[in-house]
Structures are given as structure tokens and as C-alpha cells.
Chain A
Amino acid sequence: MSALLEVSGVSVTFDGFRAINNLSFNIAAQELRAIIGPNGAGKTTFMDIVTGKTRPDEGSVTFGERSVSLLSLSEAQIARAGVGRKFQRPTVFEDQSVFDNLMMALKKPRGPLAVLMFRASKGDARKVRDLAEEVGLGDQLERKSGELSHGQKQWLEIGMLLAQEPRLLLVDEPAAGMTLAEREHTTALLVEMAKTRAVVVVEHDMDFVRRLDCKVTVLHEGSVLAEGTLDHVTKNPSVIEVYLGRG
């Protein structure tokens, strides 16, 4: 199985602090992967590097069959290449309706002129409705997304990611601040999505990771500490030490 995303030897330093230290790992084209690690382990920085927000000092990040380097692309180009990102805090466009949010995310030409001339066809509208159905917002299309509950905003954001049709999805703490029922819905959504694409979930919450039932990568001080099933890594003595402290 060839890798979709290949991160090798990446390091990044902020004002002398090594946030990522010689990090290397691969993600396959259809895979659900959880990344865990204590605060400051470099989880968010890793996402920033893959999506183009932060440039690493050294190393390489390649994507897709033709191994395109992501390091020379802008954020928008990376997104168009097929990398979607979901932020920890739900970030939807609150002043606009659920429908408009999804329509903006729908995979279509992104240039200013094409967008200016764009008028949604019946097929586009149907796609948006189907997506809204899929994430459980079918009856909320006309509402402004700012009025949605926290959990609904998270789903809307997931719906927007689906609309982008990314090949790799980076999800930052999807379960934060969710009720139990919302968590179960979210887990089901993520597992379903990973059947057709790569999904990387960065998470703090061990219960949630257990529910995902997938390969886990443990980060610590900017590099990979352990990799395997959740049971496997939680038995790893160095992981236990990192999580329970050195006391």
C-alpha cells in the first residue's frame, strides 16, 4: 500500500523552541489514524505544516501518487490539491446560511472570475442538500450558521470538508465540547469518511480514540514516540511515563 502523505525528517523551531523534531511518518490512502500526545507534543504544529500555515526548517512533505511537495504550495493550493482541515474550534462563516457555507465548500473552480460567473445548478443544490442530510443538518439549510449549536457547527464544518472532497482530512479535536450523543454521531461520521479517504484525527481524549478503533501514533516533544493499536501503545513504558509524568 503506497502512502498518500509522506512526512520525513521534518523539524521546525520557534524562537529556539523545537516544536517538531525530525518527525517522519506515512499515511495510506484509505486510513483512519489517531494522533495523540500531551500538550506541546507538536500535534497542531504538524497540521500547520501539512496545510501550509507553517514552513518547516528542514525535511520534506509529499502528497499523492506523484509525490507533490507541499512545502512550495500556498495554503489555498494545498487545499485544492486535496487536503482538508478541521479546526478545533468550529470555524464556519456565521453570518451566512448553512446552504451558503456548504455551497462555498463544494468542489468547483476557485478562481475569482469563475466564482463571479458561477450560478448554482440544480445538481449543485441537490449535492448540498445531500451533504446536509449526511451530517444531520438537512432541516437547517436556511438558518444562519451562527445560530447553530456548538455540535451542529462541528457537523457543518465536517460537511464543508466533505463538500471539498479532500483525499486527506486533518481533524483537530473533533469531540471537544460535545455531548455524548453528539460524540457518537461524530465517531460514526469519521469512521464512514475513512472508508474512502485518509483521515487523521488529533485528539486528547482517550475514550474517544478508543471508540475510533484505529492505528494510533503517539507524539512527544515533536517526534513519534510509539505507533500501533491503542492497547499496544498504552502498554509502552515510555508512553506511560510521558502521560503519567516522571514523578
Chain B
Amino acid sequence: MTQGFLAKNPSVLIFLAALALFTLAVTLLSHAYGVSFLSTSFVKTLGKTLCLCLIALAMDLVWGYAGILSLGHFAFFGLGGYMIGMWLMYARTEEIVVQALSGAPLPPTPEEIVSGIGTQIFGVVGGSEIPWVWSFAHSLPLQLMLVVLVPGLLALAFGWLAFRSRVTGVYLSILTQAMTLALALYLFQNDSGLRGNNGLSGLQNMPGQGAVTQDQLSVWFLWASALALGLGYLLCAWVVSGKFGSVIRAIRDDEQRVRFLGYSVESYKLAVFTLTAIIAAIAGALYYPQAGIINPAELAPIASIYLAVWVAIGGRGRLYGAVIGAAFVSLLSSWFTGGRAPSINLGFYTVNWVDWWLILLGLAFVLVTLFAPQGIGGLFDLWQGAKHPKRRGAPLGPDDGSFQEKEAVE
């Protein structure tokens, strides 16, 4: 069956091969395992980009295929990061505390260690008690389970309420924005138990791996991110290849008609929403150890909007489009906002890209939506000689998320 699946979807093999080549190339050019051509911080940027590609896949599945314009998936991404960050911070602090107390004449009691950890982590928000949300933070397996469970259950509860009431289109988008904003505001509070606006930091240090340098760690995380992206791609491609993919694309274009076929639209939407939230959370759990720090600003509503922009520019409704869009736009964005892009002196005005990048991105988004709705992915159709229907350019269905004829390929 797998053979048939790959034979029917040659783009999956091409993608996986390209990803493997990319990973190998970065490894050989890295500081730790190769010729030291790429700096460790750039390897981290590439690893983080792979995680962003993974959440873009999730966004494409939920928006490009199922037509649900969720503007809240970065909330799940951030939650995934928080969940893994709690273990990283706790275990790392534990090491430091144990080391500091080892000089004392008597060996420290477990209570002393726990209170030391509490003071270390929560001193910054004026506390020393470890809040209940950290109950599992001592255990990596438990905290890894929470990476999946917490965002998954939040998506399940939110989706159940929203889809059951048949909230669709722009109203759903607004609701998801409200969800991510509410979550961010909650995390900003010091008594939420997650260090308020300080967030979690020092996540780049692997507990128990003191001998491993950041040079090596950055490559390890690149491998893990590439593996997750590869598996995520396979999963998404498998989900959309069969009848399930048919049904969710049908829901995107005309959900009322799908109901009259006997499919319970709400449970499909809920399944896709929850699955993509979990993919987003896993992406976040791999992203933040490479970023080193997570704070509530990461969950800002604008982050989730960027995600939609990446997928739109890459080409929605095709998985490799989402990956290309996320990689291309996020790398370009870090180049422009990193101050590395040369300013343009017009004589009367200097175009400073750090300020002007967002305007450029917004303009690109508008232009792509108007003139090239297939996005960058459309270039592959050009190359393969695939034609786009040019009948009227009308939507293919009555629903808000439905495909436009200009996006479809004959």
C-alpha cells in the first residue's frame, strides 16, 4: 500500500530527497561535523526554519485543504514550546542547584533541591513556590506527552464549541485570533505560573549533556527538525491523498453539499483542526530549544497571520507550496529585519529595510493574492506545463474558504 501511495505521489519522494540532501549539506558545512562554513547561529536559523515549515504544513492542511482559515495556530506552536521549555528549564536548573549545594558539608535533602529550583526559576517573578502547572516538569516523558495533550485538548475543546455552533469563515478566523490573544494575555500574567513576560529561557542548554557543545547541539536539532518535517510531510500527504482528502476539500468548497452526502462536516473539521494543532505543537517543541527563549509575545495574534501569509505566498492547497512559502518568506524576513539588507539611499529619503520589510511583505501578499493565487507553487505548474482553468476565475464553491478557479490546476 505504501508503495502505491508513493508511486501515486511522486512529489513526496522528491520532497523527502530534497530534505535529506539539504540536511546532509548543512551537516557537512557545519562547524561541528563538517568544514565550518556555516556558523552555528545560522545552522540554528535553518533548523528553526524547518520547524516553521512544519507548522506551515499544518496551516496548509487546515486552510488550504479544509478551508478553515485558522489564525490561531501559533498559539498551539507556542504551547508546545512552553511544554518542552518547562522540562528543559527545570532539569537544567536542578543540575545547577545540585552542583551548588554539593559543596555543603551535608548532602542536600530533596526538599532543599526543590526549594532551590523554585527560587532560581521563580525569583524573577517574586516567588519561590513551584506552581502546580509544573507538576510534571521533572519528567521528560510526561512533559513530552503534554506537548501533544495540552494543545491537542485545547484545540479539541475550542473546535468542538466553534464548529458545533457552525461558526465559519471570517467569524471563525476572528474567534481563533481571540483565542491566541487571550492565551498570550494569560501567559503575560506573573501568577499564570509560567514566569509572566519573562517567559522561559536558557532552553538551548540540554540537561545532562553538559559535554555537548552548542555547535553539535545545533546540528542535532537540525536533524530532529528535518526528521519531524519529513514525517509530518508524509503524514499530511497520506491524509490528503485518499478519500479523507477528497472529503475535506469538498468541505472547503461546499460544506452544505457534503452534509447532504451524509458526512458529518463538524467532526471532520474538528479532526483536522486538532490534528494540525498537534503538528503545530510538535513544531513548536522543536523550535524553542533552538531559539533558546520563549515568552508570551511569541503567541501574539500577528504571528498566526504571518503563517497564513507564508502559506498564501507559497501556494495553498499543495503541501510543498506551504513548505516553500514558509522557508522563503521567513528566511527573507530574517535577512531584511536582521539589518543585513543594504539600505537604499534615494537622496531625499533612505529606505531602511528593517522598517520597510513589513510593507514589502504586505504588498507581496496583496499582489500574490490578486495576480498569482497559486503562489510560488504555481511556478512548478508552469514548469510541468500544467494549465490553469481560465473560464471565469470564479470560486469553485459557495463557502468562504473555497478554492478559486485560478488556484486550481486542470
List residues of A whose CB falls within 8 A of some B CB: 51, 53, 74-77, 79-80, 84-85, 87, 91, 93-96, 100, 103-105, 110-112, 115-116, 118-120, 144, 146-147, 160, 164
Contacts and interface: CB of A to CB of B under 8 A. Distances in A.
Contact of B243 (A76, A84, A104): A104
Interface in B249-284: 249-250, 253-254, 256-257, 259-265, 267-268, 271
B268 A93 contact: no
- The CB with the most chain A CB atoms within 10 A, among B244, B259, B271, B410, is that of B259
B260 A95 contact: no
A118 to B, nearest CB: 5
A75 B243 contact: no
A238 B246 CA distance: 49
A120 to B, nearest CB: 7
B320 to A, nearest CB: 18
B247 A146 contact: no
Please provide the 10 A-B residue pairs with the shortest distance between their CB atoms, ordered closest to farther.
A79-B262, A75-B259, A80-B262, A94-B396, A116-B244, A76-B264, A112-B271, A93-B250, A118-B243, A91-B257
B298 interface: no
Contacts of B389: 144, 146-147
29 contacts: A53-B256, A74-B259, A76-B259, A76-B264, A76-B265, A77-B264, A79-B259, A79-B261, A87-B257, A91-B254, A93-B257, A93-B396, A94-B253, A94-B405, A94-B408, A96-B246, A96-B249, A103-B246, A104-B247, A104-B250, A104-B261, A115-B243, A115-B263, A118-B243, A119-B1, A120-B243, A146-B408, A147-B410, A164-B262
Given A105-B261, A118-B244, A96 B267 contact: no
Interface in B318-361: none
B385 interface: no
B169 interface: no
B129 to A, nearest CB: 43
Nearest to B404: A95
Contact of B242 (A96, A118, A160, A164): A118
- The CB with the most chain A CB atoms within 10 A, among B246, B247, B408, is that of B246
B403 interface: yes
Nearest to A53: B256
Contact of A76 (B263, B271, B403, B405): B263
A95 B1 contact: no
B71 to A, nearest CB: 24
Contacts of A147: 389, 410
B410 A144 contact: yes
B207 interface: no
B267 A144 contact: no
Given A95-B408, A112-B271, A146-B405, A76 B262 contact: yes
A94 B410 CA distance: 11
Contacts, number: 89
Given A103-B246, A144-B408, 10 more contacts: A79-B259, A80-B262, A85-B260, A93-B246, A95-B249, A95-B408, A103-B243, A110-B264, A115-B247, A144-B389
Nearest to A89: B398
Contacts of B247: 104, 115
Contact of B244 (A75, A115, A144): A115
A23 B53 CA distance: 57
B183 interface: no
B127 interface: no
Interface residues of B, number: 30
A93 B249 contact: yes
Contacts of B130: none
B404 to A, nearest CB: 10
A185 B263 CA distance: 29
Contacts of A91: 254, 257
Contacts of B242: 115-116, 118-119
A115 B264 CA distance: 12
Nearest to A76: B264
Contacts of B408: 94-95, 144, 146
A93 B242 CA distance: 15
Contacts of B250: 93, 96, 104
A93 B267 contact: no
Contact of B261 (A87, A118, A164): A164
Contacts of B202: none
A104 B396 CA distance: 17
Contacts of A146: 389, 396, 405, 408
Contacts of A85: 260
A110 B258 CA distance: 11
Contacts of A110: 262-264
B154 interface: no
Nearest to B252: A95
A100 B263 contact: no
A163 B257 CA distance: 15
B181 to A, nearest CB: 30
Contacts of B1: 119
A105 B261 CA distance: 6
A51 B259 CA distance: 10
Contacts of A53: 256
Contacts of A111: 264, 267
Interface in B359-410: 389, 396-397, 403, 405, 408, 410
Contacts of B249: 93, 95-96
A138 B37 CA distance: 59
B164 to A, nearest CB: 11
B396 A75 contact: no
